Amino acid sequence: MLTAEQISIIKATAPVVGNHARDITGAFYPLLFERYPHVQAYFNQTHQVQGTQREALAQALVAYASHIDELGQLSDAVSLITHKHCSLNIQPEHYDLVGECLMEAIAMVLGAAVTTAVADAWSAAYRQLADILINAEAMIYQQNAERRGGWQGERRFLIEAIVPESATMTSYYLVPEDQEQAIDFSAGQYVGLILTINGSVVRRNYSLSDAPGARHLRISVKHEQGGVASGYLHQQAKEGNPVLLTAPCGDFVLTQDEYGLDKPLYLVTGGAGITPAISMLNSCVASGREIVFVHAAINSEHHAFSAHVQALASNHDNLKTFYIYEAPLPKDTPDATGYLNADMLKALMSGRQDVDLYYLGPKPFMACVNRIVHELGIPPQQVRSEWFGPREALD
């Protein structure tokens, strides 16, 4: 518990820490990796190079400091961070290492402004936040272990089948090596995949792309040019190979019961963002709930799961599809060409605001849908999004 004096110190110094947050997190990661090299393998090095993780941590610290006396406001951020941490198997003992390096980074960047009282207040504030995250993570780990087919930590799976879904996306069917049991998760969640590539451990997240309750977990991976994990999976992985997985995590899940019928469900995705939407679709299409499945792809060659979704649509009247191709091939007949825009989504919504809308895609796609959703006035609690990397600001 912070004292009243510490809270006022945090409030008074929050603006200066906020102004220097990027410098602080920029100093923090090299310090952490130099002093505790074993921790580096938990972090996606591409996000380090791109600076997106540095930025996400800076924003989290600013948000925390500015809500230090109203922590309830941070519940969405806590949920996002803790699910991400659990998917990477972050443990309580890691928090001391991070705290030590973060406090040193603050002192390095702010210099003499960090008096003993300021340092003590920020250390206490860090400890408080660490405890909130550690407790929330303990609950996620426990829930994940208690689910049917669940587990805690890293578990060995075997690649049972490799199935191409488009010119650039391939599905991997993964079964636990130690048991054959249906595995529960919430449609829309993702796993942590741990690979050893050329002697280095690489951790990446992948959304599960099939409905829960099967004996396999399926991930569907887009081949990124020059990508370490996707390159390995597409070019080297073979059926029968082992991989390590953490238990499914993430809060990009259907807020209503998946069989809830009251609001139409809009699944709006671009490119590789289709994967969790397929899991949601597969899990609830048979319920009869009205579903509008909107997907943007380059063209039919890059359009993953199109035959699968078309087959579902021909058997379920409650499912409507709308496809937008950026660069259609001569044989393609999409519903629209170019990029998703406000007019397309408005026409699909027919002025309705009582919908649940889930969206995921590349950053410009996310920015566009985010803007349209605001314009249409859909209540924020009915809109959810996921990111295939550290969450970024859209405005």
Ligand X SMILES: Cc1cc2nc3c(=O)[nH]c(=O)nc-3n(C[C@H](O)[C@H](O)[C@H](O)COP(=O)(O)OP(=O)(O)OC[C@H]3O[C@@H](n4cnc5c(N)ncnc54)[C@H](O)[C@@H]3O)c2cc1C
Q: Which residues bind ligand HEM (CB under 6 A)?
A: 39, 42-44, 47, 53, 56-57, 60, 80-81, 84-85, 88, 90, 94-95, 98, 129-130, 133, 390-391
Residues 89-148 that bind ligand X (CB under 6 A): none
Q: What are phi and psi of 244, to 5 degrees?
A: -105, 140
57 is an interface residue for ligand X by CB under 6 A: no
- For residues 381 and 383, give the distance between their C-alpha atoms in angstroms, rounded to a whole number: 6
Q: Using CB under 6 A, pick the residue from 20, 54, 216, 222 that binds ligand X.
A: 222
Among positions 54, 94, 155, 204, the unique one binding ligand X when judged by CB under 6 A = 204
Residue 65 identity? A
Question: Crossing angle, helix 116-146 and helix 75-87, to 10 degrees?
Answer: 60
Which one from 95, 172, 190, 323 is the annotated catalytic residue? 95
Q: Which is nearer to ligand HEM, 22 or 215 (CB)?
A: 22
What residues contact residue 226 under an 8 Å CB cut-off, 6+ apart?
none
Does position 392 interact with ligand X (CB under 6 A)? The reply is: no
Name the residue with the smallest CB distance to ligand X: 227
Binding residue (CB under 6 A) for ligand X from 154, 389, 392, 394: 389
Point out the catalytic residue in the list 55, 137, 165, 258: 137
φ/ψ of 363, rounded to 5, equals: -55, -45
Decide: is 207 part of the binding site for ligand X (CB under 6 A).
yes
Figure out which of the listed residues 64, 95, 206, 359 binds ligand X, where binding follows CB under 6 A. 206
Which of ligand X, ligand HEM, none lies near 155, with the C-beta cut-off 5 to 8 A by kind?
Answer: none
Q: Which does 350 bind (CB under 5 to 8 A by kind): ligand HEM, ligand X, none?
A: none
**H/E run at residue 293:** strand 291-297
| 29 touches ligand X by CB under 6 A | no
Examine the residue annotation and report whether 104 is marked as an active-site residue of this protein: no
Binding to ligand X by CB under 6 A, coded x per residue (else -) over 268-297, reads ----x--x----------------------
Question: Is 229 a residue that touches ligand X (CB under 6 A)?
Answer: yes
Sign of torsion, CA 22 26 32 37? positive
Which long-range CB contacts under 8 A does 4-9 form with residues at least 24 apart? Answer: 5/117, 5/121, 6/120, 6/121, 6/124, 6/125, 7/68, 7/69, 9/117, 9/118, 9/121
For residue 388, state whether it binds ligand X (rule: CB under 6 A).
yes
Determine which residue in the list 1, 4, 49, 393 makes contact with ligand X, applying CB under 6 A. 49
The reply to whether 226 sits near ligand X by the rule CB under 6 A is yes
Closest CA relative to residue 65, chosen from 106, 110, 101, 13 = 13
Closest among 301, 295, 294 to 330, alpha carbons compared: 301
361 with 352: CB under 8 angstroms? no
Q: How far is CA 34 from the centre of its chain?
A: 27
Residue 189 CB, nearest distance to ligand X (Å)? 9
- Known catalytic residue at 93: no
Kindly indicate which of the ranges 105-113, 173-181, 225-233, 342-350 contains the residues binding ligand X, using the contact rule CB under 6 A. Answer: 225-233
Q: Could you say which of ligand X, ligand HEM, none residue 228 binds, taking C-beta under 5 to 8 angstroms by partner kind?
A: ligand X
Give the H/E segment covering residue 131.
Answer: helix 116-146
Question: What's the CA dihedral at 205, 207, 210, 213 to 10 degrees?
Answer: 70
225 scored as a contact of ligand X (CB under 6 A)? yes
What span, in angstroms and rounded, lies between the C-alpha atoms of 245 and 194? 6
**Is the Cβ of residue 55 or residue 165 nearer to ligand HEM in the bound state?**
55
Under 8 Å CB-to-CB from 373, ≥6 apart: which residues?
Answer: 357, 359, 383
> What phi and psi values does residue 30 have, to the nearest 5 degrees?
-60, -40
Nearer to ligand HEM, 131 or 239 (CB): 131
**Residue 45: CB minimum distance to ligand X, A:** 7
Q: Which residues bind ligand X (CB under 6 A)?
A: 46, 49, 190, 204-207, 220-222, 224-231, 272, 275, 388-389
Active site residues: 95, 137
